[in-house]
């Protein structure tokens, strides 16, 4: 879409074991990886895709993930690098509701919010093995109440100002901004493809493939609800990238991320 | 069933990482765990449930699992401790077709063989992430040919003498010998419950719950095809144990196994 710019909001980093990042294969050992959000500055408005993790939440609930996050790596801090505030963002879309993708949602009570419909139930009634993934409930009064975690909600949070519109299947949420349903890691997981006027599209795998190595080896992360769907989603991403001549960008890949544009630098 | 005895055939041990044994939870680090098979000496004949791993196969294909197996821990060696040879076994049942449950099948060309029907396709067409689990194909000429691994077959192996009868759902394969379909770890996974004349039944979880801790915490192993089914299978095993006042025995639990009867000692 002419006029579309994509900014990556660096959100700091976390640590997992190699057996988490590369399911069953590893090798073992700590891997520190980036977390980032995607700001689409579009002729129809500013769309924020995901919102990173909340430092205090991770320290309290998942300290073993060893969060490192500067002030400039919070959502308000990262937006400030672009001369923006949360009030400048009209739409928030979450790829899924794991804690490292919804941590900054609390700054957007005014925004319209979208997700895959399946996530709306999953965060309120997760599988036993998903409880830590869906541990930050500050983004949804409904989910927090369902899980008995209303204490996580900041002042002013209501059912209304944390309501989502649930989507089904693949959706072009704005011209040239495509959500592709890629379940496996989470039941309602969306990957994102953004088209530009004068460069190749970018296909953000999000957590369907943490890294280039994940996609090359079809090795999904150890966090998943349906690993068969997870493999199919990776195969679909490979095909989409080829069919649309898209540049692939990965969610949690330190090596790839070191070459990505962040801060005021952008893709257009 | 009056006259039923159960012998456990110690099959040696293997090593996995804590993140394999306890999915996503760990902690990390090597865990050495036992592998064993179950001989049911029944009024209707001798039933062998599973057949352990083949040392040479593991050394060749999965040496990182560090197999330790003495001659007495091979299937012929363990049977010899009871004064038996493979020829004395009329029926072989496999809980599923992972390498550490089928390694000794090659000694039973004469036996009738049973498994869940779903395993018959899965070993021939595994998911990408199941390839190592289904790596020992010496038990099935059909699977070995489908996977291009006929070199694994020992002399004399034929489609006919490695044919299985595929079962569906729960089956009482002989009076007091119950197979319960407990999918998740493998699509066609069976757990085993054996009834006796004068003691509590024994419910062998097999790989639906590697250990007591797995079942207590509902933490399945990291090797699985359907983790939602895996949790449901564990809940089902808990319920079965309660309803039938069964003693639970676990497949890969060094602490529990140290108290199990092996060799000529038996349960009856």
Per residue in B219-261, pLDDT (tens digit) is: 999 999 999 999 999 999 999 999 999 999 999 999 999 999 9
Residue B204 CA to residue A146 CA, distance in Å, equals: 36
Mark residue B51 as left, alpha or beta (left: phi above 0; alpha: psi -120 to 50; beta: remaining): alpha
pLDDT over 90 at A155, yes or no: yes
Tokens representing B216 are 């207590």
Cβ contact, residue pair A23, B222, below 8 Å: yes
Tens-digit pLDDT profile for residues B114-147: 999 999 999 999 999 999 999 999 999 999 999 9
Task: Please state the rounded mean pLDDT for residues A182-205.
Answer: 97
Residue B29 pLDDT: 95
Residue B84 CA to residue B9 CA, distance in Å, equals: 12
Tokens representing A244 are 């649309």
Residue A28 sits at the chain B interface (C-beta within 8 Å): yes
Residue A2 pLDDT: 75
Per CB-CB distance under 8 Å, the chain A contacts of B226 are: 226-228
Tens-digit pLDDT profile for residues A54-65: 999 999 999 999
What is the β-pairing status of strands A171-174 and A177-181? Answer: antiparallel
Query: Which chain B residue has the Cα nearest residue A21?
Result: B24
Residue A53 CA to residue A12 CA, distance in Å, equals: 8
Residue A26 sits at the chain B interface (C-beta within 8 Å): yes
Question: What sign does the CA torsion over B63, B66, B68, B69 have?
Answer: negative
N-to-C CA span, chain B: 10
Q: Which residues of chain B have pLDDT under 50?
A: none
Residue B17 CA to residue A72 CA, distance in Å, equals: 37
Cβ contact, residue pair A226, B228, below 8 Å: yes
Query: How close B251 gets to chain A, by Cα (Å)?
Result: 19
**The pTM is what?**
0.95
Tokens representing B152 are 């694994």
Cβ contact, residue pair B219, A129, below 8 Å: yes
Other CB atoms within 10 A of residue B169 CB: 9
B175-181: long-range contacts (C-beta < 8 A, 24 or more apart)?
Answer: B175/B1, B175/B42, B175/B43, B175/B44, B176/B1, B176/B4, B176/B42, B177/B1, B177/B4, B177/B40, B177/B42, B177/B47, B179/B93, B179/B116, B180/B236, B180/B237, B180/B240, B181/B116
**Is residue B88 annotated as part of the catalytic site, yes or no?**
no
- Mutation site, B64, B219, B227, interface A, largest A CB count within 10 A: B227
Other CB atoms within 10 A of residue A111 CB: 20
Tokens representing A14 are 């976390």
Distances (CA, A) of B243 to B201, B204, B210: 11, 15, 21
């Amino acid at each position: 879409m002419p006029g579309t710019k994509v900014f990556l909001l660096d959100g700091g980093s976390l640590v997992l074991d190699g057996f988490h990042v590369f399911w069953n294969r590893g090798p073992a050992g700590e891997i520190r990886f980036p977390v980032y959000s995607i700001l689409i500055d579009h002729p129809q408005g500013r769309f924020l895709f995901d919102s990173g993790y909340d430092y205090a939440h991770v320290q309290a609930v998942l300290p073993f993930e060893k969060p490192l996050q500067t002030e400039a790596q919070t959502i308000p801090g990262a937006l400030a690098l672009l001369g923006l505030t949360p009030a400048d963002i009209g739409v928030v879309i979450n790829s899924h509701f794991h804690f490292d993708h919804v941590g900054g949602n609390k700054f957007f009570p005014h925004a319209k919010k979208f997700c895959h419909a399946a996530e709306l139930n999953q965060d309120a009634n997760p599988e036993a093995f998903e409880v830590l993934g869906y541990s930050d409930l500050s983004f949804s009064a409904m989910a927090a109440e369902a899980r008995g975690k209303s204490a996580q909600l900041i002042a002013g949070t209501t059912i209304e100002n944390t309501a989502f519109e649930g989507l089904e299947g693949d959706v072009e949420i704005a011209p040239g901004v495509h959500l592709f349903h890629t379940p496996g890691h989470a039941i309602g997981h969306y990957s994102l493809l953004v088209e530009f006027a004068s460069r190749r599209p970018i296909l953000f795998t999000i957590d369907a493939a943490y890294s280039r190595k994940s996609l090359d080896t079809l090795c999904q992360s150890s966090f998943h609800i349906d690993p068969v769907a997870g493999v199919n989603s990776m195969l679909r991403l490979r095909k989409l990238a080829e069919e649309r001549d898209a540049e692939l960008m990965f969610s949690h890949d330190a090596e790839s991320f070191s070459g990505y544009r962040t801060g005021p630098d952008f893709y257009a």
